[in-house]
Structures are given as structure tokens and as C-alpha cells.
Structure 1
Amino acid sequence: MSHARAAVHRAARVAPAFAALSGARRAELLGRIADALDARADELVAVAGQETDLPEARLRGELARTTAQLRKFGAVVTEGAYLEATVDHADPGDTPPRPDLRRMLRPIGPVAVFAASNFPFAFSVAGGDTASALAVGCPVIVKTHPGHPGTSAFTATLVAAALAEGGAPDGVFQTVEGFEEGLELVDADELEAVAFTGSLRGGRALLDRCTARERPIPFYGELGSLNPVVVTPDADAARGAALAAGLAGSFQLGDGQFCTKPGLVLVPEGSALEAALPDSVVAGEPRMLTPAIADGYASGRDRAAAIPGVEVLAGGGGATAPTVLAADAATLLAHRELLDEVFGPVTVLVRYRDAAALQEVLETLEGSLTMTLHAEPEEDVTGLADWMAGRAGRVLFGGWPTGVAVSWAQHHGGPWPATNTVFTSVGATAVRRFLRPVAYQDAPASALPEALHDDNPLGIPRRVDGVYVLPATPAG
């Protein structure tokens, strides 16, 4: 038996005991992990800096986000609404007559998490996928990323030790390494779901593998995203230079290696934004996270720049140099390959002549994690905002999409190819991926989970006979 399959088997054995722990108990374990990472922050940042060449300030901020989201998921499961506990008492007068029905969400079992390259802490070994799965009682097996092996090993050691010291069942957190072990992990009979953050190509391969299993399992992928931005003529006239500075900061942030990088910006012909943008493009050739990312960036950018009608407005030259490309709407419509995501510090300005030309370009766009609209307060953008909501998981009015807050209301997902599901990988409802509903009909009280007892011993929000009921004293 491969290491990956053995890890899943081990996780499956302890899954019932882990699921039986209370939300407060699992929150305590997440807090222990966060405390352990915070206590070794200097060492973790040093190792990650050597492997990724990311600046210390960025890594410290990311590690702080990582430990904060561990604690926030603890708060989510302590509060208890995530269970969606629902009680419908028997009603013989209903049509049809209703038995006693009680429903809640329960953990699905062992989960595989494929770590991302571009966030060595927040989307890696102890990142949001791991935190949200552990929070609801699912054992986790992480397939580590080869871009930061030392950081992954160090983090995993701290996580495992914190769980052990906290008395967690042995086997609720494990790691595997290597491409073949990753495939073995997906194929393991007792695995219940896969969470992945990475390329569209890699994600599609894993999705197909999850579906091809004798017993298919869910695949939750955060994949490719162009994150289009629309600048109206009024907004450009009012603050084009400021918008150029904001765009430059966003598409070059982290050397363009964020999934929310604005990769396509629609601007009116003759825009002040376009005139001002070249002054904010940084010279030089940054080191990318991995050689494969660097090669993919250079080849993708150069392919786009070689399209007839596309000009290099700023930057370029070096293999990894930040670059602004520009084209008119007709060029994009004739060459849809301009809409292919290029991971790295490049953005494409597309000039539109009027509202009709803008709408024609918009209709070519696929789903994205985000869409951003820059307009003036007096403009009626209702129709455009509604259209964007149909194509993106997060619609921004002003600002820039890089930077994803971890909160109750956050949604980090979107229509294909941004993700392949309706779920989020960031924020409180990320836990929903690792839960499934179970209804209990005419069950004796002794067979019911505490969340469904009449006296609500957990003190959690519930819907009872159609009415949402808040506890007199909040849980925790």
C-alpha cells in the first residue's frame, strides 16, 4: 500500500472520533495550531524567504493571516450556525402529513488538500482548506507543494505537534509528497473530497480523476481567473491617473502571482489611465516562485504580445519583467486567445469606443473570481453590476481585487473556469465544502445529535418549525 493510501486509511479510522468532538473542542485545537505557528514565526518566515524569495513583510503578513483564519474557523464552529440545524416537529395536519424531521450538516470524512505554490502559508499546509476541514471534523491529508518543501515540512511538524499535545485523535492530520503520491491520494477508496488551488490544467486533471473513480467524489478547485476591470469614461476623466497608480500596484503585487490579479482592463479610447500607467510599471526582472511559473509567464506574455494589433505599452524586455499590453476591442474579438490567463505581472488594456463596443467585449468573457467596476457616483450602473454578478463571485465597486479578506461575508469562487463549484475557498462558508446534510425522521432523542435535541444544549442558532431561533445565550 502506498504512503498516500495508508494515510487515507488511517484518517478514515479516526474520522468518527474526530467528528464526535464538539465545535468548541475543535476550535481549541485550531487555536493551538495558530499559537504554535505564531510562536515560531521568525523561523517559519526565514525558511519561506529562502525558498520563495518573497519579502519578509509579505511573509509575515501572510503568516498572520494564516493564524487568524485558523482562529476564525474556530469561532465559526463554536457559534454553530454552520450546522444549519433544523427541527420540524410532527404535524399530522400538514399536507401531506409531516413526520418529525430534523436535519443538520455532518462532516464528510477524510479530505485531501493540494497546497498552492503562491501562498506558502495561507493556501498551503495549514492554510484555509486545512483549517476549514479540520474545523468541521474532517481529517486532512495535505499533498505538499514542491515549491516550498522546507516550509511545508516545518509547518507540518508544528501542526502535528499542536494537535497531539491537544489530545486530537492520532491521524487527523498527515502530509504526502510527490506527483505520484498525489495521484494515489485522489484514488484512495476512503477519501471523500479533494480541495485544490492551482492552475486550470492541473485542476481539470484532478477533477477528471475524481470523477473517474469507481465511487466519484467532490472536487473543489480554485483554478484560473482573468479578473476583468471596467473603467467608465466618467471615472477615467475624473481620476484616470489615480486609477493607473492603483492598477499598477495591483497587477504587480506579489509579482503578479495572485489569483485575483487584474489581467484585463477595459478602458475608453484615449484614456487618461492608459497615458499615466507606463510611469508606474517597475523595471527589472523579479524572481518568480518556481522555474515553471517563470517559464509559463514568459511564454504566455510573449504569445499575447505577438498577436497582430497588440502593442507593448510598458515594460517587457526581460523574461519576467512586468508588462502592460494594449489592444483595441476589435483585436480582442478577433483573437480570443488574449483572454487566456497569464500568471505573473502582466495586464492587458483593451480600448473600447462606446457602450456597445464595451458590451460586445464583455459578452466574450468567461467566469472569474472577481470583476471590478470603476464608475462615478452619479452613474447608473445597475445593469452592468447585475451582469457582472452573473459572471463573477465577487463584484468590486472601486478598489482592486488583490487582497481577499477572511470574513463571514467573503466569497472566493466564481463560475467556470474560476472554480468548478458554487462554494468558496475563503471565509466562514468555506466549511460547507466538507459537510453533507443528514435528516433524521421520527428518531428517538437518544439517537439524535445534540444539535437537534429539543432543549438545544449546544446553544446554537436553529430553525424550528420554520422560525429561525437565536439562543438566549450565544454559544461559547
Structure 2
Amino acid sequence: MTFTPHGQHLIAGEWVGSDQRFASEPATGPAHKYCVGTVDLVNRAALAAEDAFWTYSATSRADRAAFLNAIADEIDARGAAITEVGCAETGLPAGRLQGERGRTVGQLRLFAAHILKGDYLDHRVDAAQPDRQPAPRPEIVMMQQPIGPVAVFGASNFPLAFSTAGGDTAAALAAGCPVVVKGHSAHPGTAEIVAEAVKAAIEKTGMPKGVFSLIQGGKRDVGTSLVQHPLIKAVGFTGSLAGGRALFDLCAQRPEPIPFFGELGSVNPMFLLPHAMAARADALGTGWAGSLTMGAGQFCTNPGIAVVIDGPNADVFAASAKAALEKVAPQVMLTPGIAAAYHAGEARFGAASGVTALLTAQSSGREARPNLFEVSAGAFAANHDLAEEVFGPLGLIVRVASEAEMVTLAKGLLGQLTATLHMDADDLDTARRLRPVLERKAGRVLVNGFPTGVEVVDAQVHGGPYPASTNFGATSVGTLSIRRFLRPVAYQNMPAELLPTR
């Protein structure tokens, strides 16, 4: 199945054009033209979403589950075409796109099963006590209700799982909230074909047409108008710290402030404890190199920093990581802009005071080669820039003098998506000192693993303290993420016939 994009927006069930067009920048193959989003299209999509909310929010859990499963079916039916266009646009290998499609439909099906159980409603009942003295107690029933239309911004690094019908969209639709997606210009063709799948599912299940819209491209005014539109009640975002913070501030400055659930970046530090290093420093260095370069280092859980105690085992670890990284061929990055930012990060680390380059490989164009640096704990603490994410296959080894200094360094870190302990049984005492620090710094704490790869399960947390995300109490992966798009409502002395049937 060959896919030829028509380059239009999907607004309330209709493909709509606009006057201006932009050209895609594929890694391979021909570029295509896509209509540019406008403020007027945002308004039309938001109005349609609000109109759809009154019907969609009242649908049964069974009907919404059938809708989510239908979206998954329609995406799978277009699987070959999605892989073809996605590979061309992003430069990602076919296996990665196929795996990400599996994750995307898996999320949709997971939410379908989750809402059928009903637990997410957090349904609570306090029975009336009419004979209570000195005053009777009314009956109070509480349950979660959908908040209204949600805006979702597609991510550059996950054209499927964090974009058009990705986790934010799946969670919002499961909650009963219509969605307006701002597509990412890095993969507009992928967004279009997935939107076709959603449109087909809407028609198949009889859902209101305004339950989903896709707006392609557009300048800053399009994103601004979307998060500031008075009918939008929450925003899901995965992207850069600068872009996310700007949108977060706009949400807070609205006459009616709304929640902004942004995942903004993380260096995902690993702490390699002494007994684990003594037993397998060589293997740990090789494993880190593999995780660091997976997908050209373009994962939000990429472990950019390894903290080790200075000494011979640290030398073995560094040599092993360097040797493994030297074997990694240049990889195509998702966009020219991402590649340019990675090249700037290479230069920044290379020129930083106190930083030693262990492996420097000049990158050019849209390709990335691995880079490896090391620094002392003191120099790391003195230069805040070294703790900032470089999106790509760049690793930094931080050498500390002792386990106590390792704990001190951990306490000085900003919020992270993940933090990892590599340990053996004899490292338990040190791990006990680090665990309370790391759980305060990160949303997911791992032991003896690498954080790249996020399991989509009920217990998963993909979020963390700022700047990893803008809401430390939320996750963008796992069924708990549905809570972002719900709010509790208490019903006092409400007749059973009048209570909502959820």
C-alpha cells in the first residue's frame, strides 16, 4: 500500500485546505507539500470539539472502548504505509517504526480495557445518616468526570507513540475528552495517515465528528492560539524545555488558567556503585554505549550521564564505553534542526572548562556520531550547562571521589524522568542512601537496567519533577495518565435516576 499525502488538515471529519503550504524535509525520498495551520482552523477545531464534548462525554465506557479499539484496528490496517512514510520522513529504521506502531495500538487497547473496568472513576459513596446528631449527614457520591476538549502537541522523536494517536490522545479519548492535535512538522505524512485511521474509526463507531481534529504546520501563532483558546481545557506536550516552558507560561496566563502536562527533557543519570563496577565494569560500559546510541540517542530516556567512583574500575568502564561507541556508525537524526542542536551540544561540551574528551567524532549534516566526555564532580557542579540534555548520542562520565560525594551529587540534580542504580548485593547500604534521593528526583527509579524503552503498563510513570515535566504528579505513559484529563465531582443527595451513568 503506497501512501500519497493530500496535505490537508482534518477538522471535524472533513479534510480542509489552507492558502499557504510548507514542504516536508524527509530523510529519504521526495518532499511533499502540506497546508499550513491557521488561527481560524484552531478556532473551528476547538468549536467542533466543544460541540462534540456534550455527546462524547456522555458515551458509555463500552462505546468509547470500541472506538479506541477501532482506531487501533485502522492503524494496523495501514501498517505498511505508515512504516513507509514514517521511515522516509524520520530516517528511523523499519523495525523501529513497526515496534512503535505496536506500542501505539497497544496503548489504545490498554486504555480500552482500562476504562471497561471502571476503576479510573474512583467511585466513592458515603451513605446518608439521617439520624446523626446534632445534624443529619447527606449522601455524597463522588466520581471522576472528563474535563473538556484537550490540545495535544505531536512529538518530534516519536511520530506514532507520542503524536497524533499516541498516549496523550489515547488517554484523553478514553477519559471522554475530544482532542485537537497540533501535528509536528517533522512527520506530517505520518500524522496525516494516522488521522485517516482515526477518521475511519469515528465513522465506523458513529462517534461525533468533532471528537478529533488534526492541524498541520503553522507558525507560533497557531500553537499560541491553541493553548489560549477558551474552549481548550488541558494541554499535552512532549518536546523541548524552551518550547514547553513558553506554552506552559501561556496556559498559566490565560484568564482561565489550564493545566499544561509537558514532558520537557532529562539526562537520566546512572549511578554505578562500587561492587557492581568491580564485578562488571567492562559489561556496564558496553551496555551504556548501546543504550546511549539507541535511535541516535533521540529518546527522552536516553542515559546521558554516568556517575562513577574514580579509580581503576572507572577507567575500565570508560575504556569499554569508548570502544563500543567507536564501532557505532553515523546515524540519521530526525530533523535537520535536531541535528544542528546536537552539533552545537558537541561543541559546547568540547569547549567546557574541566571537561576531557574521550571520544570526539565530527558530525555533519543530518547525521550524528557518538561523543564521550568525562569530568570531575567538582567541575560538573560548577557548570550547570553540563547537566542539561544534549539530544543525541552524547555521554558524560562524572567521576566522584567517594560514595558520599555520589550522594551529594545526586542531591544537586534537577528533576529527571529516570534515575538508575547499577548495584550488587554488597552495594545495598549505599543504594539505601541513594534511593530516597533518587525517588525525589525522578519519576522512575531503575536497578540494573537501562532506561531506554518504556513499558506501557498500569504501573508505569513517565514524568518527574521539573524540568523533566511540568507536573510532578502526572505521567504521560501508563493508565494513570488518564487522570490528567479528569476531575472529581461530588453529588450530594442526588437521586439515583439523576446520577451520571459512567
TM range (shorter): over 0.9
Q: Cα distance, 1:96 vs. partner?
A: 7.2
Q: In structure 2, what is the Cα distance between the partners aligned to 1:35 and 1:298? A: 40
Q: Which stretch has the larger CA shift, 356-365 or 32-41?
A: 356-365
Task: Deviation per CA, 1:315-349: give whole Å up to 9, x if none.
Answer: 42224211111111121122221111111111110
Q: Aligned ranges for residues 18-57 of structure 1 at < 5 Å? A: 18-57=56-95
**Letter matched to residue 144 of structure 2:** L
Distance 1:86 1:346 in 2: 49
Is 2:169 the counterpart of 1:130? yes
Instruction: Write the mapping of 1:322-337 to structure 2, written as runs, cut at 5 A.
Output: 322-337=370-385
Q: Of 289, 292, 295, which aligns to 1:254?
A: 295
Matched, 1:203 2:244: yes
Q: Deviations over 1:111-144 (max 9, x none)?
A: 0000000011101101010011011110000000
1:222 and 1:6 map into 2 onto residues whose CA distance is 27
2:447 is aligned to 397
Residue number in structure 1 paired with 2:397: 349
Q: Secondary structure at the match of 1:390?
A: helix
Shift of 1:302: 1.3
Are the equivalent residues in 2 in contact too, given 1:176–1:182 (CA < 8 A)?
no
What SS does the aligned partner of 1:446 have? coil
Alignment match of 1:437 (pick from 476, 480, 488) = 488
Q: Distance in 1 between matches of 2:134 and 2:401?
A: 59
Equivalent residue number for residue 470 of structure 1: none
Aligned equivalents of 2:457, 2:284: Cα separation in 1: 27
Secondary structure at 2:357 match in 1: strand
Aligned equivalent of 1:462: none
1:284-323 superposed matches below 5 A:
284-319=329-364, 320-323=368-371
Question: What are the equivalent positions in structure 2 for 1:239-250 lying under 5 Å apart?
Answer: 239-250=280-291
Q: CA RMSD in A?
A: 1.3
| Cα pair 2:50 2:231 within 8 Å, conserved | yes
Contact 2:309 2:403 in 1 (8 A): no
| Structure 1 Cα separation of the partners of residues 352 and 134 of structure 2 | 64
Which aligned pairs between 1:175-190 and structure 2 lie closer than 5 A?
A: 175-177=214-216, 178-179=218-219, 180-190=221-231
| Mean Cα deviation higher: 146-155 or 380-389 | 380-389
State the distance in 2 between where 1:283 and 1:437 align: 50
Deviates more, 1:438-447 or 1:274-283: 274-283
- Output the CA distance in 1 between the equivalents of 2:414 and 2:406: 15
Quote the offset at 1:283 in angstroms: 4.2
The alignment's TM-score, normalised by the length of structure 2, stands at 0.88
1:242-272 CA distance string (max 9 Å, x none): 1111101111001000000001110121312
Residue pair 1:366, 1:391 contacting (<8 A) in 2 also: yes
Aligned length: 451
Q: Mapping of 1:4-403 within 5 angstroms?
A: 4-91=42-129, 92-93=131-132, 97-177=136-216, 178-179=218-219, 180-270=221-311, 271=314, 272-281=316-325, 282-319=327-364, 320-380=368-428, 381-403=431-453
Conserved? CA contact 2:285–2:317, under 8 Å: yes
The 8 Å contact of residues 410 and 437 in structure 2, kept in 1 or not, is answered as no
**Structure 1 counterpart SS, 2:497:** helix
Alignment correspondent of 1:454: none
Deviations 1:56-90 (CA, angstroms, capped at 9, x unpaired) = 00100000110111000001110110000001101
| Matched position secondary structure for 2:332 | coil
Write the letter of the residue equivalent to 1:277: A
Normalising by structure 1, what TM-score? 0.92
Q: Which amino acid aligns with 2:494?
A: A
Which deviates the most, 30-39 or 325-334? 325-334
Q: Cα–Cα, structure 1 residues 275 and 257, in superposed 2: closer, same or farther, change >3 Å?
A: same
Deviation at 1:6, TM superposition (A): 1.2
- Percent same amino acid among aligned pairs? 46
2-side partners of 1:193 and 1:120: how far apart? 21
Distance 1:119 1:191 in 2: 24
Deviations 1:353-407 (A, max 9, x none): 1122212322220010000001112322222111111110000011000000000
**Distance in 1 between residues matched to 2:267 and 2:41, nearest whole Å:** 37
Gaps of 5+ in 2: 1-38
Q: Closer, same or farther in 2 for the Cα pair 1:94/1:277, shift >3 Å? A: farther
CA distance 1:97–1:414, shift in 2 (3 Å)? farther
**What whole-Å deviation, never above 9, does each CA across 1:8-33 have from its counterpart, x for those lacking one?**
01110110110111111101001111
- Give the secondary-structure state (helix, strand or coil) at the position aligned to 1:124: coil
Please give the secondary structure, in 2, of the residue aligned with 1:447. Answer: coil
CA contact (8 A) 2:154 2:162 kept: yes
Look up the equivalent residue of 1:26 and give its one-letter code: R
Could you report, residue by residue, the CA deviation over 1:211-235 in whole angstroms, capped at 9, with x for unpaired residues?
1111111101011111110001111
8 Å contact 2:407–2:433 — kept in the other structure? no
**What amino acid is aligned across from residue 147 of structure 2 in structure 1?**
I
- Distance verdict in 2 for CA 1:24–1:340, change over 3 Å: same
Unpaired segments ≥5 residues, structure 1? 452-476
Q: Give the 3 Å change call, closer, same or farther, for CA 350–13 of structure 1 in structure 2.
A: same
